[in-house]
């Protein structure tokens, strides 16, 4: 950042080096985040494309002759002047796939975009395959790009043939990508300036962040920005920038501010992951954590008559043994904690597992001691 553009030169000359370093460290801009990292320009959005196509050259790993694959191959051959009944075709080297892509705003004709290819049949792998020319359609059912090319698969599947053979699979061999595999055929119109005004849309809505962004912009462009709601900040183009909106947007996106981080804890029970922001606080509370383990073991015993007995028969009798183990509970007092580091240290002192920690956070929230938003996924 050019300090001379933001601070008067006379002010810099009166500051010592140490004082200047302290002033910059305390300045919000020193640890700020750019506007372009917090918001996007309304109208400059991506659009999703999708297409249905064929991947060929799969060396026997393709679809196992489903009706839709045969029909698709027959349709493709018919477009090339070859008429063949679908029932007579074999699709072992072919797979039907869905092709998806995101096209960014302002992409011109002839530009290339990346595509993702995923099998929709029962093909084993797309390794070594080539995608045939596939039109990619938008939500309005119009063709905006055409994809074609060799696939890049980040996995493999290998194994012995026949029933009961061992198989080794790494990652997902039925999903592939083609870097730059689609050519843009039609530009999607985008308008970002309306009545000499553009809108900034926050990626993480928040009234505080929206207000801070408007304030940071107004410090450079007086009375140009207004926070409309938690997501939208309207910016009026200055007179000198009304004929050059791109230059103004570039300067606008370089403005820095300190965003507001909400007090939030996100819990993913499937993976045992807990993520907490630095603003969470815990009111005075006490926690008791213990565990109860019940182990039930069932064994089979054989009961049979004596060797010289002429009556009776051998029977199997189950025997069940139940053990109950309860660990000693620990009851600790948690004073009011202003930082996430102290909260983590206190809970780690209990020696709890991530799953137990999730239960503790949920109990704290129900008790009203956790002053943060709790999200469970």
Mean pLDDT for the chain overall: 80
Which of the residue ranges 11-20, 262-271, 329-338 would you say has the lowest mean pLDDT? 11-20
The mean per-residue pLDDT over the stretch 99-104 comes to 95
Of the pLDDT bands very low, low, confident and very high (cuts 50, 70, 90), residue 360 is confident
Rounded Cα gap, residues 176 and 344, in angstroms: 41
- Residue 71: CB partners within 8 Å, gap ≥ 6? 86
Q: Which phi and psi (to 5°) does residue 125 adopt?
A: -160, 150
Which SS3 state, helix, strand or coil, does residue 76 take? Answer: helix
Q: What's the pLDDT at 252? A: 92
212, burial (CB in 10 Å: exposed 0-12, middle 13-18, buried 19+)? buried
Alpha helix locations (H) across the chain? 3-6, 9-14, 17-26, 35-38, 67-79, 207-220, 245-253, 340-349, 354-367
Number of C-beta neighbours around residue 278 at 10 A: 10
Give the sign of the dihedral formed by CA 240, CA 244, CA 245, CA 248: negative
Of residues 320 and 230, more confidently modeled: 230
Of residues 236 and 320, more confidently modeled: 236
Distances (CA, A) of 328 to 287, 290, 322, 351: 14, 6, 20, 12
pTM value > 0.85: no
Mean pLDDT comparison of 8-17, 95-104, 347-356, highest-scoring range: 95-104
345, burial (CB in 10 Å: exposed 0-12, middle 13-18, buried 19+)? exposed
Number of C-beta neighbours around residue 210 at 10 A: 25
Contact 311, 268 (CB under 8 A): no
pLDDT in tens, 260-301: 888 888 888 778 788 888 778 888 777 776 665 556 666 777
Q: Which two tokens stand for residue 316?
A: 């199997």
With the CA atoms of 147, 151, 168 and 270 taken in that order, what torsion angle do they form, in degrees rounded to the nearest 10?
-50
> What pairing do the DSSP bridges indicate for beta strands 292-303 and 285-289?
unpaired
Of residues 284 and 80, more confidently modeled: 80
Q: Which two tokens stand for residue 277?
A: 């922001």
Of the pLDDT bands very low, low, confident and very high (cuts 50, 70, 90), residue 359 is confident
Distances (CA, A) of 87 to 69, 71, 76, 245: 11, 8, 15, 59
Of the pLDDT bands very low, low, confident and very high (cuts 50, 70, 90), residue 115 is very high
pLDDT in tens, 302-328: 777 776 666 667 777 777 776 656 566
User: By percentage, how much of the chain surpasses pLDDT 70?
Assistant: 76
Q: Which phi and psi (to 5°) does residue 280 adopt?
A: -70, 145
DSSP structural state of residue 377: -
pLDDT at 23 over 50: no
pLDDT at 60 over 80: yes
Give the sign of the dihedral formed by CA 269, CA 275, CA 281, CA 284: positive
């Amino acid at each position: 950042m050019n300090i001379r553009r933001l601070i008067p030169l006379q002010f810099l000359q009166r500051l010592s080096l140490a004082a200047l370093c302290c002033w910059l460290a305390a300045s919000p801009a020193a640890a700020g985040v750019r506007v372009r990292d917090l918001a996007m320009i309304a109208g400059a959005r991506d659009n999703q494309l999708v297409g249905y196509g064929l991947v060929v050259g799969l060396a026997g790993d393709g679809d196992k002759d489903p009706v839709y694959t045969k029909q698709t191959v027959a349709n493709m051959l018919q477009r090339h002047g070859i008429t063949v009944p679908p029932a007579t075709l074999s699709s072992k080297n072919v797979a039907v796939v869905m092709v998806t892509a995101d096209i960014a705003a302002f992409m011109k004709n002839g530009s290339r975009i990346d595509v993702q290819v995923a099998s929709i049949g029962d093909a084993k792998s797309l390794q070594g395959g080539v995608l045939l020319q596939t039109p990619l359609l938008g939500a309005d059912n119009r063709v905006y790009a055409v994809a074609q090319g060799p696939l890049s698969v980040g996995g493999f599947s290998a194994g012995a043939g026949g029933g009961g053979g061992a198989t080794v699979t790494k990652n997902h061999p039925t999903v592939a990508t083609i870097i730059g595999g689609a050519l843009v055929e039609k530009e999607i119109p985008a308008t970002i300036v309306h009545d000499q005004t553009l809108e900034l849309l926050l990626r993480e809505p928040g009234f505080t962040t929206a207000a801070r962004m408007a304030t940071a912009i107004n410090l450079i462009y007086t009375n140009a920005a207004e926070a409309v709601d938690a997501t939208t900040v309207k910016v009026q183009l200055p007179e000198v920038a009304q004929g050059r909106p791109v230059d103004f947007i570039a300067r606008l996106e370089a403005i820095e501010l300190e965003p507001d981080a909400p007090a939030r804890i996100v819990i993913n029970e499937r993976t045992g992951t807990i993520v907490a922001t630095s603003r969470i606080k815990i009111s005075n509370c006490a926690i008791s954590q213990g565990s109860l383990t019940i182990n039930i073991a069932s064994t089979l015993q054989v009961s049979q008559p004596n060797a010289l007995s002429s009556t009776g028969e051998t029977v199997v009798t189950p025997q069940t043994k139940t053990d109950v183990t309860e660990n000693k509970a620990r009851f600790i007092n948690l004073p009011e904690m202003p930082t996430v580091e102290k909260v983590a240290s206190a809970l780690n002192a209990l020696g709890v597992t991530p799953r137990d920690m999730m239960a503790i956070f949920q109990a704290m929230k129900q008790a009203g001691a956790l002053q943060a938003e709790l999200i469970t996924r």
